[in-house]
Amino acid sequence: MSQLKTISILDNIPSSTQSKSKPEKLSYYTHRCRSNFPFAIPISKFSLSCILFLSLLLFYTFKSPSSPPRRSLAVDWGGAAWERRVRSSARVRSRPGHSVLVTGAAGFVGMHVSIALKRRGDGVLGLDNFNGYYDQTLKRARQGMLERTGVFVVEGDINDKELLKKLFDVVSFTHVLHLAAQAGVRYAIQNPSSYVHSNIAGFVNLLEVCKSANPQPAIVWASSSSVYGLNSKLPFSEKDRTDNPASLYAATKKAGEEIAHTYNHIYGLSITGLRFFTVYGPWGRPDMAYYFFTKDILNRRPITIFEAPGHGSVARDFTFIDDVVKGCIAALDTAKKSTGSGGKKKGPAQLRIYNLGNTSPVPVSDLVSILEKHLKVKAIRKVQPMPRNGDVRFTHANISLAQKELGYKPTTDLEAGLKKFVRWYLSYYPDAKKKSAWDFEVLDCIS
């Protein structure tokens, strides 16, 4: 599909060999909705789900959340100059095109998709609160990349309703790409309220503003493969049940899918959810295993590799960032218009959910071996039983539906993707290059 021909910010790196996968015949999404949404779940489980969901909301309402640290976001927006920057960034340069509000724009996926959209002529405005969940220096570097591409990133929070209203007053966005969220499975044990604050309350706040906008935008948002939870049937399909989450993070993403269904049904918002499967690549998140494994291997520190009961392997369906970008843009390009206006529904609206994975699960131990090869440094491995912290043993995406309806086709295997990541890592962290036995010129992926 022509809309998938995006420009990667890593143009100077050759593309990898293409992964092979055979589409599977699936029933139409309308028939699958019955298994994905609460009205198909036995009434007792549905009631329990409602109680748990309301409990989370009450918890958020009466207890101020302890979100990851971020600098004060006092009102520092507004004014004629600020509005001009907002309009200029969101202006469509090539027709036909979209005017897209990207939340979490300074995040890993947000930066890559924003740049790809901007380079093909779409209008893009970023929104990010630059919280301290991980290194803010990396987020600011991503912001610099965005600014050099012409994308203005408004510094603000999705829970700031007045800011969101102001943005929609200044720009009539055709689409919203909602990527802002509290990420990570294990961090939920340490700071559970931050997940309710961002992934539930923040999402509701954004949908409230979108449903009242005139015209209403089409919405594409990031769900997660984590919603499959304790499912043992492989590969994971969109028609599978998702009512057995293994972590609070997964539960909030599942809640997000139910909330999306509600706003679609009541207000006519066109909503597409994307279940990402372990996205990796240059400019990635430091809390991801491939990232901190690289750091620890170079520093000759032991890395912990978890194994399942009975010495079983733990595997992930690692998906390269460029493939995910193509999936996000395809979802935006095929999203139909919302059918409501000013908070009132005028007809049925599009509601979709897709897996975006690579369909080739790889054991984590193999990932480490690939990193050793590209870093030319031997890892100090420490194998331990998998703890009960919300992680699951494996993920494996069935992408037949995304292939059929989005033209989604991942082309980068883990070997090629990690090679690109390592090249970026050694370029972004100059001191790391000295610790590697790297024997060829590292490509400059920063400028």
Q: Which amino acids are annotated catalytic? A: 249
Ranges of beta strands (E only) in 195-291 are 218-222, 271-276, 279-280
Q: What does each C-alpha distance from 306 to 168, 358, 379 come to in angstroms? A: 46, 22, 15
Return the SS3 of 120.
coil
Amino acid at position 324, single letter = V
Q: How does strand 271-276 pair with strand 351-356?
A: parallel
Q: How does strand 99-103 pair with strand 351-356?
A: unpaired
Ranges of beta strands (E only) in 65-174 are 99-103, 123-128, 152-155
Angle 203-212/161-170 helices, nearest 10 degrees?
40
Phi-psi label, residue 229: left if phi above 0, alpha if psi -120 to 50, beta otherwise: left
Q: What does each C-alpha distance from 326 to 336, 352, 408 come to in angstroms? A: 18, 17, 7
Contact 408, 390 (CB under 8 A): no
Calpha distance 229→180 (Å, rounded): 21
Contact 67, 192 (CB under 8 A): no
Which H or E run includes 356? Answer: strand 351-356
Side-chain half-sphere exposure of 52, counting CA atoms within 13 A: 14
Q: What does each C-alpha distance from 58 to 49, 65, 198 come to in angstroms? A: 14, 12, 15
The phi, psi pair for 140, rounded to 5°, reads -70, -35
Q: Which of 353, 383, 56, 305 is nearest to 188 (CA)?
A: 56
Q: Which of 447, 425, 424 is nearest to 149 (CA)?
A: 447
Amino acid at position 391, single letter = D
